Amino acid sequence: MKYSEANIGRVFVMRLEQDDVIPDIIEDFAARQGIKAAVVLFLGGAETGSKVVVGPESGAGQKPVPMVTALSGVSEAAGFGTIFLNQHGLPKLHMHAAFGRGRETITGCTREGVTVWQIGEVVIQELLNCSTSRKVNPQSGFELLEI
């Protein structure tokens, strides 16, 4: 285990609107605000066809192939994530969310593009004095935290 200590900075509350796309809208906002590290909460609706990474096809192999699924209908959504700068110095969101419709729930990573349906509420809590960043791991292909 490796760790880094941080301090709480600014807190932003965002109202996302119809057709805003996660992660793009949150990463763009973070870049404009100069956010280098943060905790992110999301609550709202997700549009039909939004894409979610629901796991690797197999746990074997050095570079996992992601399984991507599209939401079959408008869904309720709740997510949690982090922002850290990637190796190019850009804010990169890593968010996992649960999407529910009726009795069906899909949980996964939002990196392929989740489109907001009607409303999305986001709270970003900035982390200051944090030495953590994301760097692509050559073995796995994942952007992992560097501490």
The answer as to whether 2 is a domain residue is no
Q: Encode pLDDT of 70-98 as tens digits.
A: 999 999 999 999 999 999 999 999 999 99
We report the CATH number of the domain holding residue 120 as 3.30.1330.80
Domain total of the chain: 1
* CB-CB contact of 45 with 35 (8 Å): no
Domain of residue 41: give its range.
Answer: 7-146
pLDDT tens for each residue of 90-146: 999 999 999 999 999 999 999 999 999 999 999 999 999 999 999 998 888 889 999
Q: pTM, whole model, 2 decimals?
A: 0.94
Q: How far apart are CA 71 and CA 60, in angstroms?
A: 26
